[in-house]
Amino acid sequence: MAKGSSINGNGGKGGNNSYTIIGRGEVSRAELVKEVKQGQHPDTHIYKRNGVEYARNNPNHDKPDNIND
C-alpha cells in the first residue's frame, strides 16, 4: 500500500500512462486505477478526464504532494 506522496506520474501534459511507486517501480495507469478502486492506496482517488481515469492524490494542505509535484 503506497501513500500518496510515494506515487509519481510518468507523463507530461498529455497525462500519465504509468506511475512510479517508490520502492515498487513502474505501474501502468490501468493497474494503479484498479488498485485505487480496491482501496489499496488510501491517500489517492480516481479522476476521470475525457473518459479516461487517472490516479490523483487526495488534497493535503500541510505539504505539496501531488502526483506530478
Q: How confident is the model at residue 7 (pLDDT cuts 50, 70, 90)?
A: confident
pTM equals: 0.79
pLDDT digits (tens, 9 = 90+) for 18-68: 999 989 999 999 999 999 999 999 889 999 999 999 998 887 766 555 565
Mean pLDDT of 6-16: 80
Of residues 7, 2, 9, the one with CA closest to residue 68: 9
Edge-first strand order for the sheet with 25-28 is 7-12, 15-21, 25-28
